Amino acid sequence: KLGADDYLSKPFSMEELHILIDNLVDNVRRLKGKFSGALVQEDKMAKIELTDEEIKQKIDEAIEIMEKAYVPYSKFPVAAILIDENGKTYKGVNVENASYGLGLCAERNAITSAVTDGMKKIHYIVVVADTKGPVSPCGACRQVISEFSNKDTRIIMSNKNYDYKVWDVEEMIPGAFGPEDL
């Protein structure tokens, strides 16, 4: 392995040049891995702790957009409010289709708009439906939420009466399939 002194004190042999180039390529690969995509940002999450009052405000925001849900078939509106690692807010409602299987969930709709706008990590996702207790996100949404989550991510599920509970990603989907399983 070459040290800084070796680079400075004498002209390079071809072999040394190759080693140098290999090292540079390795570094570039590492940096690209470090700064690209949704896996990063672990340390970048602005740790905003939501108070009970603020959580209720987010639930209100979700309740407000529930009427936008397109649910002629299930008549079960769901709304999601997503807050990303920079404190930016995104919204989603469920959008169904006469071809039933094509229906889209509120959570994934919020996530796709957030990703389109540059979101890297979910800090909070607040999911609300008109249920008896807190709504339970479907398995597919849990998997997709986990793709954009880290240890600081909080999943808040509620009904319209502010009956809410909070999970971290491991509670939401224990042992989720992730990039490390590929």
The catalytic site residues sit at 107
Closest approach of ligand THU to the CB of residue 47, in Å: 26
Which of the stretches 23-31, 55-63, 104-112, 160-168 binds ligand THU when contact is defined by CB under 6 A?
104-112
Per rule CB under 6 A, is residue 70 in the interface with ligand THU?
no
Tell me the two tokens of residue 178: 């992730």
Q: Give the one residue of 27, 36, 74, 161 binding ligand THU; rule: CB under 6 A.
A: 74
**55 or 125: CB nearest ligand THU:** 125
**24 or 138: CB nearest ligand THU:** 138
18 to each of 8, 25, 35, 109, how far by Cα in Å?
A: 16, 10, 26, 48
Amino acid at 99: S
Closest approach of ligand THU to the CB of residue 110, in Å: 10
**72 or 118: CB nearest ligand THU:** 72
Give the containing element (helix H, strand E) for 129.
Answer: strand 122-129
Q: Give the one residue of 45, 55, 62, 78 binding ligand THU; rule: CB under 6 A.
A: 78
As to burial, measured by CB atoms within 10 angstroms (0-12 exposed, 13-18 middle, 19+ buried), residue 101 is exposed
Q: Give the one residue of 45, 107, 126, 158 binding ligand THU; rule: CB under 6 A.
A: 107
CA angle, 64 then 65 then 71, to 5°: 130
Q: Which of 92, 179, 182 is nearest to 137 (CA)?
A: 92
Give the containing element (helix H, strand E) for 92.
Answer: strand 89-93
Which DSSP symbol is given to 48?
P
Tell me the two tokens of residue 138: 């479907």
**106 or 169: CB nearest ligand THU:** 106
Query: Which of positions 131-160 make contact with ligand THU (CB under 6 A)?
Result: 137-138, 141
Q: Which residues bind ligand THU (CB under 6 A)?
A: 71, 74, 76, 78, 94, 96, 103, 105-107, 137-138, 141
